[in-house]
Amino acid sequence: MLIRFDENTQVFHLQGKTFSYIMQLKDGLLLHLYWGKKIPVGHHEDLLFLPWEGASFDSAHSRWPLEVPTQEKGYYGQMALRMQNAGGDDVVSLRYKAHRIVDGKPCLAGLPASYVEQETDAKTLEIDLEDSVTQLCVTLRYTVFAEQDVLARSMLVKNGSEDTVVLRDAQTAVRLPADRYEILHLKGGWARERHAKRVSMPEGNFAVKSRRGASGHENNPFIALVHPDTTENGGDVYAMTHVYSGSFSASVDVGIDRAPYMMMGLCSDVFSWQLQPGDVFQAPETLLCYAMDGLNGLSHRMHSFIRKCICRGYWRDRARPILLNNWEATYFDFNTEKLLKIAALGAEIGCELFVLDDGWFGKRNTDNCSLGDWVVNEEKLPGGLKLLAEKINAMGLKMGLWFEPEMVSPDSDLYRAHPDWCLHVDGRERTQARQQLILDVGREEVQQHIIDSLSQVLENAPIGYVKWDMNRNMMEGFSAVLPAERKLESQHRYMLGLYHVLETITARFPEVLFESCSGGGGRFDCGILHYMPQTWTSDDTDAAERVKIQYGTSLIYPCSSMGAHVSAVPNHQTGRTTPFNTRCNVAMGGNFGFELDLNKLSEEDLQCARDAVAAVKKWRHVMQQGEYSRLQNPFLSDGDAAWQYTDGQTVIVGIYRALAQPNASPRCVKLVGLEEEALYTDREHQITCSGGALMNMGLPVPYAWKDHDSWVYVFEKQ
């Protein structure tokens, strides 16, 4: 880790473990020069600038690689920073003013951000830029980490003038040299989140975004540029992710010189921010990750970073409990007796946590009422949550509880008392989804109401886990209390309010494990993982679908952040029947759990469940904290997939075959990252091989005699 400024060449050189990021000051402008494989400090001055000089129709500056591209100096591409100045124009001319190199990693006021525990674990460069006409001041922050291989970037905007101005866009931008690239992003929808998509980089603009008020099922705040020959294990990857859970935009803008600008930031369709004289605006953090060793290289760096520098608290490094959730077992149709019967068998096979999902409060027997009324329904649960939780605890299980705190049902006491507390536009219909509306969490009284009502429940019953759901996105997402000129601040104010609530609640109940959810994986991002270290990956629990969803999710997010449950067949989302052992093997790709009535299983499947629980307990330190690599991509092989975890000593390999084939050709799965000369033994399958053989010849895949077959191997290094 190093940050160096050379007075002579005016070059800033930031070094992570394996990357360099270089900028230079020229005529007061901050220019981006390089992001890629680590290079030595100094002795590259003769290379600076050459690519950007030469004749052009536009002004000579038009092809300068501005670190913060704005409307100035003949630049015509996408802007990273856009203002509406007091005079109505949007010209912004940023010039260098000062810089500082400090130890550690400053917090970002009110926002989630990466962090370090010791000042010596990181170094931060702050560069102040200023527009001398409008007195707009911008502070860029860049942090490099001693033990991690990611660059954290953010931008603070200050109105230093005597006038009111409006911030219209605040993005992190990085310009790469012109080359052949493909864009990798995560596309999806409800129940098919984060499918990995790779498309040729167009000449023009490519964007994925959300204006839903949540990062969303449809697009994830992640984008990467890769070369066409980049594979899982080789080639360059330039990736960006957002430490933010609301609407976002991630784009690649290719200028006339074919050099792409990658950008990530707030979604300007639903954002603007008024800055009074002296006001500051902190834009969310963006994480930049370069890997020269392919997509697995990207994942190794991001998994480690998210586990250590994004997730926090008591559960960050602890083994995650094996849970049993009643949602797909009962939906709303439960009572104490039914729940205890399911929990008892869960306890018997070794589960550690019983989660009571939706339907325990108000008069909620279906999804048309009671959100906001967080008071137990004693008709269903006589004696209340305390009694139920004590009975669950007596079985040796912790008790978990579902909430959807940001929502309100029109049919609820809360809505009857405060009909104005939801996001809406006066005089217009309040569009409902799942028969619910969204509370205006940007308002302090709403934040306090959520904090008080959840605290009341958590203080009065021994609850060890909370599933924090959010089942709809914003429409008419405007705060009733903001004036017209500030209406477009509503969504970001909501996020700041939500982060305040989450910070307060998680600090007040530090040993409670929080899992986020948004109709499955509709808010799976680094912002939410800062408060809740795991997310329910998808409402789709079908093993065949999950292979794809977990593949895409694993590009960025660690297995310890992905909830993965074994459910009943025919599957409730697809109607598909997969073998029980495959459902277990696939759920071992994340935080393992069950979401079915175990009492309905055959003896054989119940034994398989017992074995899976024992295996997860034995190996979860490898699966949750070890290094995860993808060995076979289901999007390129008709759904077949393979993956591997290792902590250096134990190597766990999962292989999944989608469809059985007659006369199938023999196949091998090549392991990665082993020691060539060391011997590895899988006792159960009686295989002993060198690391070299497993990585180059590969592990032969057994013949599949049925659809959706799967196998797990556990090798120990001798």
CB closer to ligand DGJ, 433 vs 606:
433
> Per CB under 6 A, does 406 bind ligand DGJ?
no
Instruction: Decide: 562 and 591 in contact? Cβ < 8 Å.
Output: yes
Instruction: Choose which of 330, 471, 534, 535 interacts with ligand DGJ (CB under 6 A).
Output: 471
Stretch that binds ligand DGJ, among 293-301, 514-522, 598-606, 614-622 (CB under 6 A): 514-522
User: What's the gap between Cα 630 and its chain centre?
Assistant: 18
Instruction: Give the tokens for residue 185.
Output: 């992003």
Instruction: Decide: 308 and 287 in contact? Cβ < 8 Å.
Output: no
Instruction: Choose which of 232, 406, 539, 709 interacts with ligand DGJ (CB under 6 A).
Output: 539
My answer on whether omega of the bond before 51 falls inside 30° of 0, hence cis, is no
Interface positions, 118-177, toward ligand DGJ (CB under 6 A): none
Instruction: Give the tokens for residue 6.
Output: 């050379």
Instruction: Choose which of 67, 149, 411, 469 interacts with ligand DGJ (CB under 6 A).
Output: 469
Stretch that binds ligand DGJ, among 84-92, 408-416, 441-449, 516-524 (CB under 6 A): 516-524
Separation CA 74–CA 60 (nearest Å)? 8
Separation CA 624–CA 611 (nearest Å)? 18
CB closer to ligand DGJ, 327 vs 711:
327
Instruction: Choose which of 520, 527, 552, 589 interacts with ligand DGJ (CB under 6 A).
Output: 520
Instruction: Please say if 539 is a catalytic residue.
Output: yes
To ligand DGJ, the closest distance from the beta carbon of 194 in angstroms equals 15
DSSP 265-279: EE-GGG--EEE-TT-
Strand 650-657 to 641-646 pairing: antiparallel
Tell me which residue of 75, 83, 82 sits closest to 32, measured CA to CA: 75
Separation CA 616–CA 622 (nearest Å)? 9
Q: How many CB atoms lie within 10 A of CB 481?
A: 15
CB closer to ligand DGJ, 75 vs 360:
360
Stretch that binds ligand DGJ, among 89-97, 126-134, 172-180, 512-520 (CB under 6 A): 512-520
Instruction: Please say if 58 is a catalytic residue.
Output: no
Q: Is 379 exposed, middle or buried (0-12, 13-18, 19+ CB in 10 A)?
A: exposed
To ligand DGJ, the closest distance from the beta carbon of 574 in angstroms equals 16
Quote the longest CA-to-CA distance of the chain.
Answer: 80
To ligand DGJ, the closest distance from the beta carbon of 74 in angstroms equals 50
Tell me which residue of 532, 668, 659, 655 sits closest to 586, measured CA to CA: 655
CB closer to ligand DGJ, 352 vs 539:
539
The distance in angstroms from the start CA to the end CA of the chain is 34
> Per CB under 6 A, does 357 bind ligand DGJ?
yes
Which is catalytic among the residues 90, 411, 469, 682? 469
> Per CB under 6 A, does 517 bind ligand DGJ?
yes
Instruction: Report which DSSP code applies to 621.
Output: H
Stretch that binds ligand DGJ, among 215-223, 271-279, 368-376, 515-523 (CB under 6 A): 515-523
Stretch that binds ligand DGJ, among 48-56, 257-265, 513-521, 585-593 (CB under 6 A): 513-521
Which is catalytic among the residues 539, 597, 605, 682? 539
What is the x/- site pattern for ligand DGJ, positions 386-405, by CB under 6 A? ----------------x---
Instruction: Give the tokens for residue 243.
Output: 């430490």
Instruction: Decide: 166 and 273 in contact? Cβ < 8 Å.
Output: yes
Phi, psi of 497 (to 5 degrees): -65, -45
User: What's the gap between Cα 118 and its chain centre?
Assistant: 24
To ligand DGJ, the closest distance from the beta carbon of 559 in angstroms equals 19
Interface positions, 292-331, toward ligand DGJ (CB under 6 A): 327
Size of residue set near ligand DGJ by CB under 6 A: 11
> Per CB under 6 A, does 358 bind ligand DGJ?
yes
Binding site for ligand DGJ (CB under 6 A): 327, 357-358, 402, 469, 471, 517, 519-520, 536, 539
Please identify every residue annotated as catalytic. Answer: 469, 539
